[in-house]
Chains A and B, each alone.
Chain A
Amino acid sequence: MPEQGSTPLVLVAGTATGEVLRLDEPLSFWGGMETVGGRIIDQRHPQVGEIVTGRVLVMPFGRGSSSGSSVICEAVRAGTAPAAVLMAERDDIIALGAIAADEVYGLLMPVVVLPQEELDGLQDGAVVTVEVDGTVGAPGGAHNPA
């Protein structure tokens, strides 16, 4: 269900800075990205071939197999994961991958649910910072959407 309200809902807390990569469709990490190069490999995905590594990934919601959790954890371990994932709906598969990476490797990939209008304000390619409280803004402290 879409989350109501205007405050960020932090699924996994952390800080991250990176260029926004807006996905036109949800991505299933299992079968959808490879963890050696961080590339989208789902041939049916409109952004197949894009590299997610270090990007602040913006997508409406997650999809696909629960094995996506281990793909995310593996990508965080390998250093090929997104810097952060921002969505309009909760997704426990993505959250769990980030939680496991924190538990085993002490590496944090923030996962935050934001209102759709706030996600809509994030321009593809803009550099943004995700704060521990889930706010997203320009690097350097301004907590306004880029």
Chain B
Amino acid sequence: MTLRLEERDEARLAGLEGPAQQMASRVVTRLAAAMGADVLIDITGAHIDSCLYHGQAVLDFANRLADDGARVVVPTTLNVSSLDLLHPEHARGDPEEARLSRRLMERFEEMGCRPTWTCAPYQLEVRPGFGEQIAWAESNAIVFANSVLGARTNRYGDFADICCAVTGRAPAAGLHLDEHRRATLVIRLVGVSADLVERDVFYPVLGGLIGRLVGKAVPVIDGLEPGVSEDRLKALGAASASTGSVGMFHMVGSTPEAPTLEAALAGNEPVEEVTVTAADLRDARDRLSTTTDGDLRTVSLGTPHYSVAEIGRLVDLLGDRRIDDGVAFFVSTGRDVLHEVELRGWADRLADAGVTVVTDTCTYFTPIIQDVTGTAMTDSAKWAYYAPGNLGLEVVFGSTEDCVESAMVGRVVRDEGIWADA
């Protein structure tokens, strides 16, 4: 397959629109050739993860584009960075690295990206519609965009995301195309209690299991009651994109390209059918923990960034109680969500309970947590998957309720009963 370019692409490659367009076009076309795409398509939006500093190379790349005057040509949002700009007092990292991180962030703002600083751009007021072709980076955002919004993006990452945004073009490959979006694998639950399926904690655990089962295939989950909430689909997707490389899933009756099982499979027979039991889920839950108890020092919620509804649930769970003095309790969210939370008067309630709100970044890679010697607890499969390696701490995964109750008493307490067989 050879890549066929349009005249406007050729003009950019020839440098007729300046050196920044030339370089960005060259990266997009070289990527397209490497992916085996035969044409480029227009995109209507982008979400950039290259703004997270991890080394000189990403800054050098951004400097080249920004120095040459690159501007994004589609609405473009920015992912989390390494800094909490609203709460700089949280920073415990190396000041020189913080300076380079800040510089990287500025370069993307200069290129016309919106300083949204969130890994959950689908929680912003304006988000992509069904069928829109976009170029999103950040694994949890990608799987949400494809699965829940029905927008179309490949799994973009560093360098590709900004080059697509600057050119407004993307390789016609992978999840941009119908044939790669249909499910090939059916997942069904057997012997899982109705009570567990009604709980938030079921969804990240199922997602973690699915990620390990399917790798990068597109699965369809059949047999759940229709209308599963966006927050639950978000937790499932984020988990599956952490333990595996899932870029899209379907859930019959809950995601837009799966009104029926047949629709999700696009009329084809599945390559594989997998049953998930309560025992499989207990095993998947256990794999998300590196320890079972220990001295609880930290609780971290909000990976991906908590929505307004999720913060509302946390406020309800906390009530008028106060977290144990020995436990640092964090919740990460976007600055736009925080604004809404403040308007509702919840920020004061969180502060009164002893909760620290983190914005613009996330606690699993940014040095914010003071005490990494003890046990940390989280309701996020993604945080549980990455934090032990990044931060060197022990983690216990639990429901949000488990996390709150444990924080009150300063030790790990989990409701084991909910995981029983049906």
Chain A residues within CB distance 8 Å of chain B: 11-12, 31, 35, 63-71, 73-74, 76-77, 90, 92-93, 95-97, 99-101, 103-105, 111
In the complex, the answer to whether A69 meets B34 with C-beta atoms within 8 Å is no
Instruction: Give the shortest distance, in Å, between B51 (CB) and chain A (any CB).
Output: 12
Show the binding face of B for A, using Cβ within 8 Å: 23, 26-27, 30-31, 33-36, 49-50, 52, 54-58, 60-61, 64, 137, 139, 155-160, 245, 389
Taking CB as reference atom, which chain B residue is nearest A102? B30
Closest CB of chain B to A107's CB: distance in Å?
11
Residue among B52, B160, B245, B389 making CB contact with A69, cutoff 8 Å: B160
A103 with B26: CB separation less than 8 A: yes
Interface centre among B27, B30, B139, B155 (most CB of A within 10 A): B30
CA distance in complex: A63, B35 (Å): 15
Question: With contacts A92-B34, A100-B159, A104-B64 known, is A77 near B26, CB below 8 A?
Answer: no
> Is A103 in contact with B55, judged by CB distance below 8 angstroms?
no
The answer to whether A69 and B26 have CB atoms under 8 Å apart is: no
A77 touches B245 (CB 8 A): no
Q: Is the CB of A99 within 8 A of B27?
A: yes
Q: Are B31 and A96 in contact (CB under 8 A)?
A: yes
- Verify A69–B159 contact, CB threshold 8 A: yes
4 closest Cβ pairs, A-B complex:
A66-B157, A95-B34, A74-B55, A74-B57
Q: A100-B61, A104-B64 are in contact. List 8 more A-B contacts (CB 8 A).
A: A12-B30, A70-B50, A73-B57, A90-B35, A92-B31, A97-B159, A100-B57, A103-B23
B158 near A96 with CB under 8 A, answer yes
What separation, in Å, do the CA atoms of A71 and B55 have in the docked complex? 8
| Separation of A65 and B142 alpha carbons in the complex (Å) | 12
Write 12 A-B pairs (CB below 8 A) sorted by A numbering: A66-B156, A69-B160, A74-B54, A76-B57, A92-B35, A96-B31, A96-B157, A96-B159, A97-B159, A99-B34, A100-B57, A100-B158
The distance in angstroms between the C-alpha atoms of A105 and B57, with both chains bound, is: 9
Q: Which of A64, A68, A104 has the most CB of B within 10 A?
A: A104
